[in-house]
Amino acid sequence: MYPDLKGKTVIITGAATGIGKACALRFGQEQANVVINFHSDKQVKETEEMIKEIKNSGGNAIAVQGDVTKEGDIKQLIEKTISEFGSLDIMINNAGIENEVPSHELTLDDWNKVISTNLTGQFLGCREAIDYFLEHDIQGAVINMSSVHEIIPWPHFVHYAASKGGIKLMTQTLALEYAPKRIRINSIAPGAINTPINAEKFSDPKQKEGVLKLIPMGYIGEPEEIAATAVWLASNQASYVTGLTLIADGGMTLYPGFQAGKG
Ligand code: NAD
């Protein structure tokens, strides 16, 4: 637990499912004020349940619908946060999408959708949060949800890999730019995590087996294991950490083919 997170206000985008949801619940356990951004009308019920759970654990929460690709929605997300909780301390740009297509068949529409959600959406979240921190002299923290695919090339997912590669240098550039203001900007690179984005892939035993072979620790990660890295990065325990990609991947980026000298 991180006592300094108590009473802090955190926005998490794409927080009705998966890693974002686990982060929201964990910040709730830390007794923070949690703003759950969600995208689809179908997620309203889920966010209502989450608000109850967060309040039961001693935190506070609201849900705000919005599309991270829309500048106006991100501005409104910040405005609603301030009007409800009076401030903003931590911004977690988590919303992301992917779809599998051989690159020579990838439409411009699909390319644009992934880039605008995963990269432009995260940029807008960074920009608006940093602008607020500067205006109010807040030494805030930003966390961007990247992926091991900011390092590992991924055939059939060129738009996804390009978006995550973009997040790496966006995070480092912003970290350098705002370090003098003590605004910390970091990212997290999860490996294969058990969330809806992977539901189809992991429901096929053959595909799941294939993924497991790439993970030296031998299991698919749980979203709570990523949330645990997010609360640390947001807390004062990480006060001197900026521009970092924190990799949480069970060893996936350690060249698993070389395990036991078999490479
Ligand atoms: P997920 O599908 O459960 O979560 C993604 C969330 O983003 C969903 O709730 C979705 O509604 C929301 N979203 C999509 N488009 C949006 C938009 N335009 N505006 C607002 N919200 C939008 O999957 P997840 O695994 O929890 O993914 C969360 C993040 O973690 C993503 O950025 C993903 O790339 C990253 N990630 C996931 C894994 C993994 O294995 N699960 C690995 C590496 C990185």
> Ligand 1 center to residue 17 CA distance, Å?
8
Atom 43 of ligand 1: nearest residue by CA position:
147
Atom of ligand 1 nearest to the CA of 19: 26
Atom of ligand 1 nearest to the CA of 221: 40
Q: Which domains does the chain have, with CATH numbers?
A: 3-249 (3.40.50.720)
User: What pTM does this model have?
Assistant: 0.98
Tokens of 73: 């929605």
Query: Catalytic residue numbers?
Result: 160
3-state SS, one letter per residue, for 18-76: HHHHHHHHHHHHCCCEEEEEECCHHHHHHHHHHHHHHHHCCCEEEEEECCCCCHHHHHH
103 alpha-carbon distance from chain centroid: 25
- Looking at this predicted complex, what is its ipTM? 0.99
Pocket test for ligand 1, best of 64, 124, 197, 198 (most atoms within 8 A of CB): 197
Tokens of 157: 């997912």
CB 176 within 8 A of CB 125: no
CB 148 within 8 A of CB 120: no
Give the per-residue pLDDT at 261: 87
Give the per-residue pLDDT at 260: 85
> Ligand 1 center to residue 94 CA distance, Å?
6
Tell me the pLDDT of the chain (263 aa) as tens digits. 999 999 999 999 999 999 999 999 999 999 999 999 999 999 999 999 999 999 999 999 999 999 999 999 999 999 999 999 999 999 999 999 999 999 999 999 999 999 999 999 999 999 999 999 999 999 999 999 999 999 999 999 999 999 999 999 999 999 999 999 999 999 999 999 999 999 999 999 999 999 999 999 999 999 999 999 999 999 999 999 999 999 999 999 999 999 888 76
Give the per-residue pLDDT at 262: 74
CB atoms within 10 A of CB 168: 18
User: Ligand 1 pocket by C-beta < 6 Å: which residues?
Assistant: 13-14, 16-20, 39-40, 67-69, 94-97, 117, 121, 145, 147, 190, 192-193, 195-198
User: Any idea which residue has 């069970």 for tokens?
Assistant: 250
